[in-house]
Structure 1
Amino acid sequence: MNELKLLIAGLLISVSLCAQHRTQVYLSPTGNPTLLNKIQKNASYLLTEFNVAFMEEKSPALNEVMFSESARRAIQSLWKTSPFYCEETEIITNLVTRTDRNYEIRNISLVFQIGDTEDSLHYEEGVIILTPTGLIDNFYFGLERHRYQDLLNAGNTVTDYRRRQIILDFVENFRTAYNRKDLPYIRDVFSDHALIIVGKVVEVDENSPNMLESSFEKKKVELIRMNKQEYIDRLTRVFSVNQFIKVGFDDIEIFRHPLYERIYGVTLLQHWTTSSYADVGYLFLMIDFKDEDNPMIHVRTWQPEKYTSADEVIGLGDFEIVQ
């Protein structure tokens, strides 16, 4: 009898632990309840698989029926560098219809760990993209929900609003590509003639007659110019020597060019963390919407926050566009 009680107790504990791994997604009603149920089921399956895989230190099982092949590859690549889980047992949110007729689910709170200490816990918001038939087509780390909506609402026209939505989707994918070390994606979104500028902090010669007393002012930023291939080669080396890459974006601003409506500039504060190095800097991207389905980066610049004043931050107005 005692053995039976112990067996039942053990079973209850196992069931309880499994229940803690489950995340159920509930979405606002749409006109198609069958499709809504399918999307809720697929999203719940994905998040629960993340939880189980994280707790059991394995890769998530991605049922081929629920995912596109590109989504499965992207998730598997992301998982190799950034395992995470959803600590919510229920997510109640809206199902958003995008301008490309796909669906998205935002506001998914995620926790992932870099290192072995309590301070190594980080929080992100996940985004699930689904096809019109409810297939999971992408997953990436998204912007904070209120900031995302504010940036969208700043659009002055329907076209501007649509492009801002595409830009934010692009920026979120671009950021997550670094987290998953996705060199092919990064290579494809840069123009073959892209201009890459990276700010390097250098020490000023202490024997210089212009040496200033402040230790802060003993440093200056040298802007190094490189082409697309040089940047990709450099990134390849960074990815190969670091176990993980974590990239976060803050303070995002979007500007449309006053003369060329297809050209947009995005400025933001980038938080870069790897297993061997961390920094914070101002990132600027010039994005061309000549092909709205495939936006292209013509310019990428990075400047260290600590040694760059507000009036030194590179932006859209610093470049002359020749048509």
Structure 2
Amino acid sequence: MKRLSILFLLWSMVLGVNAQSVSFTFKDGIYNPSLKQTMERSVSSLLSEVNRAANNNGSLNLSSINMTSNAKASLNNLWDNFHFKCDESSYSENCLTAVNGYEIRGISVTLKNVDATYKGEVNKELTISTAKDGQITGVHMALANNVYNYVVNSGKDVTDTRRRLEILKFVEDFRSYYDEKDLEALRNVYSDDALIITGKVIMRKAMGNDQATLRPEIVYSRQNKEQYLTNLARTFRNNKYIKVKFDAIRVKRHPAKDGFYGVTLHQNWQSSNYSDDGYVFLLWQFREDENGKELPPVIHVRTWQPDMVGNQQLSPSEVFTENDFFIP
């Protein structure tokens, strides 16, 4: 009987390990056998660790996984807000060439143990970014595939398509910074002279036919970078979780200023204390140093406008664009 108990315990342990283990392989897109093997091993280890932590409702142990320190910190921040588990025990995806390395998409996961106030989707996909040597540099929740494909296929030429791919990656990273409450990353992505404009609907009294009526109107407040980040830090502290979703994206190259792109996003913001829907506009600049080396892009303008004014949808002509701001 004692022997049977030991065998049952060992068998249970094997089943537990198998339930957590995830295998990842590439279908296509990478042709260096050594690098391919290195990346497959790293991604498999990462996804297996995600499952182990999710099953145990515990913390991630990323110490043995080939990831940058920033990628580990970012993923741990995300994990503090949301636990998730892989939907499959094996994945086989294409390797996509990115600007500074490679990208893996299509890793389906399910959010676990979400707060009762959370009303968003629990089925998500991960995007995993790596450097050219295969080291993992980022793990983020992905944009919806239909949004991603629409933006990429709207490029007018090779350079524009490459920029759009960069923008999509930065948009995914940008959104994740809010999910992860990563104030330092947001500080780095906004330029020092960034302009932040936020709209709010108020009811304005209007006179007509000798009687007063109330009509909805958007009023705008203006902040600089430090004011915005100070207020955002307070929001991060006061909310157990934050989940940002972009379900529509418009990317437009500035007609007169090289390197500037306007990005308009329809945003759904959910947090434990507040939720809203509106339009976010970002004026993004791609830069180079004096030697022609690319620098990280920065955001010079961020605006937010509610998508409903009273019971009326905000007119597309009223949504901010790159043409609404002077670029010296």
TM-score (norm 2): 0.89
Q: Map 1:292-303 onto structure 2 (within 5 A).
A: 292-303=294-305
Q: Take 1:185 and 1:164, find their aligned partners in 2: how far apart are those partners?
A: 21
Q: Take 1:241 and 1:69, find their aligned partners in 2: how far apart are those partners?
A: 27
Q: Take 1:169 and 1:119, find their aligned partners in 2: how far apart are those partners?
A: 25
Q: Take 1:285 and 1:199, find their aligned partners in 2: how far apart are those partners?
A: 14
Q: Take 1:147 and 1:241, find their aligned partners in 2: how far apart are those partners?
A: 31
What do the CA deviations read for 1:259-279 (whole angstroms, capped 9, x no partner)?
112110001111111111111
Deviation at 1:116, TM superposition (A): 4.3
Deviation at 1:123, TM superposition (A): 2.3
CA contact (8 A) 2:49 2:61 kept: yes
Deviation at 1:37, TM superposition (A): 1.3
1:177 is paired with a residue of what secondary structure? helix
What do the CA deviations read for 1:76-120 (whole angstroms, capped 9, x no partner)?
2221122222121111110112232x1111111122143148966
- Name the amino acid aligned to 1:90: S
Structure 1 residues 55 and 206 mapped into 2: Cα distance closer, same or farther (>3 Å)?
farther
Instruction: Name the residue aligned to 2:194.
Output: 194
What do the CA deviations read for 1:16-61 (whole angstroms, capped 9, x no partner)?
2332222211112532222211111110111111111112121111
Q: Take 2:196 and 2:12, find their aligned partners in 1: how far apart are those partners?
A: 55
Q: Take 1:220 and 1:320, find their aligned partners in 2: how far apart are those partners?
A: 25
Instruction: Name the residue aligned to 1:175.
Output: 175
Work out whether 1:226 is the aligned partner of 2:226.
Answer: no
Q: Take 2:266 and 2:121, find their aligned partners in 1: how far apart are those partners?
A: 21
1:111 is paired with a residue of what secondary structure? strand
What do the CA deviations read for 1:133-160 (whole angstroms, capped 9, x no partner)?
2211111122123431331121112221
1:53 is paired with a residue of what secondary structure? helix
Structure 1 residues 54 and 207 mapped into 2: Cα distance closer, same or farther (>3 Å)?
farther
Richer in strand (by share): 2
2:300 is paired with a residue of what secondary structure? strand
Structure 1 residues 66 and 155 mapped into 2: Cα distance closer, same or farther (>3 Å)?
same
CA contact (8 A) 2:117 2:272 kept: no
Percentage of matched positions with identical amino acids: 36
Structure 1 residues 304 and 117 mapped into 2: Cα distance closer, same or farther (>3 Å)?
closer
Instruction: Name the residue aligned to 2:291.
Output: none
Deviation at 1:121, TM superposition (A): 5.7
Structure 1 residues 314 and 21 mapped into 2: Cα distance closer, same or farther (>3 Å)?
same
Work out whether 1:75 is the aligned partner of 2:75.
Answer: yes
TM-score (norm 1): 0.90
Deviation at 1:64, TM superposition (A): 4.3
For this pair of structures, how many residues does the alignment match? 315
Q: Take 1:276 and 1:134, find their aligned partners in 2: how far apart are those partners?
A: 39
Q: Between 64-73 and 280-289, report the one with greater CA deviation.
A: 64-73
Give unmatched runs, 5+ long, in structure 2. 289-293
Structure 1 residues 83 and 135 mapped into 2: Cα distance closer, same or farther (>3 Å)?
same
What do the CA deviations read for 1:149-192 (whole angstroms, capped 9, x no partner)?
33112111222111111111111111000111111111111111
Q: Map 1:231-242 onto structure 2 (within 5 A).
A: 231-242=228-239
RMSD: 2.2
Q: Take 2:228 and 2:51, find their aligned partners in 1: how far apart are those partners?
A: 36
Work out whether 1:8 is the aligned partner of 2:31.
Answer: no
Instruction: Name the residue aligned to 1:279.
Output: 276
Instruction: Name the residue aligned to 2:130.
Output: 130
Structure 1 residues 311 and 65 mapped into 2: Cα distance closer, same or farther (>3 Å)?
closer
Work out whether 1:312 is the aligned partner of 2:318.
Answer: yes
- Name the amino acid aligned to 2:32: N
1:290 is paired with a residue of what secondary structure? strand
Q: Take 2:161 and 2:140, find their aligned partners in 1: how far apart are those partners?
A: 21
Q: Map 1:157-172 onto structure 2 (within 5 A).
A: 157-172=157-172
Q: Take 2:120 and 2:55, find their aligned partners in 1: how far apart are those partners?
A: 16
Q: Take 1:93 and 1:262, find their aligned partners in 2: how far apart are those partners?
A: 32
Q: Take 1:279 and 1:136, find their aligned partners in 2: how far apart are those partners?
A: 33
Give unmatched runs, 5+ long, in structure 1. 213-217
